[in-house]
Structure 1
Amino acid sequence: MYETVQFIHSYWAYLVLFMLLIASFNAIIGFAANKEYSATNFRIALFTLIVSHIQLLIGIVLYFSTPYFSGWAQEGMGGVMKDSVLRLYNVEHPLVMIIAIALITIGYSKHKKKLTSRPKFKMLAIFYGFALVAMLSRIPWTAWFN
C-alpha cells in the first residue's frame, strides 16, 4: 500500500505545482495588467484549490503509512530532530505543506469576498504566490530526481 500511495502522492504533486504556478502567474498578470476577472480565472483558482486539497488527503494517508513515521517511536523527538532526513519527512515537509495549503484556502476565500477584479487578483497573487514559495522550499528534491 505504501508504494502505491507514494506513487500517487509523488505524481499528483506535479499537477499541484503546475496548477499553482499557472494560478499564481495568472493572478500576477491579471493584477499587473489590470485585467477583468473572468470565469476562467475563477476556475483556475478553484481547480488549484481542489487539487491541493486532494494532495493533502493523499499526503495524510502517506504520512501514517510511511516507514519514516516509525522514526517517532524508534528515535523519539530528539532523534527525529537531529536526523535531517527524518526531520524533513516527519516535520518540515508535512508542516510547511499544510501551511501552504492553508494559504491557498485563505487566498481563495478572501478573493471571493472582493467585488472588483484588481483586489481579487491581488489576493490570489499574494496567497498563492506565498504558497508556491513555501511548497518549493520543502519538496524533497533528492527523492524527486531519483
Structure 2
Amino acid sequence: MYATIQFIHSYWAYLVLIVLLVATFNAIIGFASNKEYGATNFRIALFTLIVSHIQLLIGILLYFTAPYFRMWAEEGMGGIMADDTLRLYNVEHPLMMLIAIILITIGYSKHKKKLTSRPKFKILAIFYTLALLVILTRIPWAAWF
C-alpha cells in the first residue's frame, strides 16, 4: 500500500508544480499587464487550489503509512532531528508543504474578496509565488530523479 501511495504522491506532485507555475505566471502577467480578471483566471486559481489540496490529502495518508513515520517511536525527536534524511521526511517536508497549502488557500480566499482585477491578480501573484518558493525549497529532489 505504501508503494502505491508514494507513487501517486510523487507523480501528482508534478501536476501540482505545473498547475502552480501556470497559476503564478498567469497572476503575475495579469497584474503586470493590467488584464481583466475573467472566468479562465478564476478556473486556473481554483484548479490550483483543488489540485494542491488533493496532494495534501495524499501526503497525509502517505505520512502515516511511511516507514519514516515509525522512526518517531524508535529514534525519538532527538534522533530524527540529528538525521538529515529523517528530518526532511518527518519534519521539514510535511511542515513546509502544509505552509504552502495554507498560502495557496489564503491567496485564493483573499482574491475572491477583491472587487477589481488588479488587486485580484496581485493577491494571487503574491501568495502563489510564496507557495511555489516554499514548495521548491523542500521537495526531496534526490528522490525525484
TM over 0.5: yes
How far residue 83 of structure 1 moved from its aligned partner, in angstroms, is 0.2
Deviation per residue, 1:43-72 (Å, 9 max, x gap):
000000000000000000000000000110
How far residue 106 of structure 1 moved from its aligned partner, in angstroms, is 0.1
Task: Write out aligned runs for 1:75-114 (5 A).
Answer: 75-114=75-114
Match of 2:51 in 1: 51
How far residue 108 of structure 1 moved from its aligned partner, in angstroms, is 0.1
* Structure 1 gap ranges (5+): none
- The total of aligned residue pairs comes to 145
Task: Write out aligned runs for 1:19-34 (5 A).
Answer: 19-34=19-34
How far residue 136 of structure 1 moved from its aligned partner, in angstroms, is 0.3
SS of the residue corresponding to residue 115 of structure 1 reads coil
Q: Distance in 1 between matches of 2:95 and 2:44?
A: 25
Identity over the aligned pairs, expressed in percent?
Answer: 80
Following TM superposition, the consecutive aligned residue runs of length 4 or more in structure 1 with deviations greater than 2 angstroms are none
Q: Distance in 2 between matches of 1:62 and 1:96?
A: 16
Q: Distance in 2 between matches of 1:71 and 1:142?
A: 20
SS of the residue corresponding to residue 18 of structure 1 reads helix
Deviation per residue, 1:103-139 (Å, 9 max, x gap):
0000000000000000000000000000000000000
Letter in 2 for 1:88: L
Task: Write out aligned runs for 1:64-75 (5 A).
Answer: 64-75=64-75
How far residue 101 of structure 1 moved from its aligned partner, in angstroms, is 0.2
Deviation per residue, 1:9-40 (Å, 9 max, x gap):
00000000000000000000000000000100
Match of 1:124 in 2: 124
Q: Distance in 2 between matches of 1:122 and 1:19?
A: 18
How far residue 3 of structure 1 moved from its aligned partner, in angstroms, is 0.2
TM-score when normalising by structure 2: 1.00
1:38 matches 2:53: no
Question: What is the RMSD computed on CA atoms of the aligned residues?
Answer: 0.2
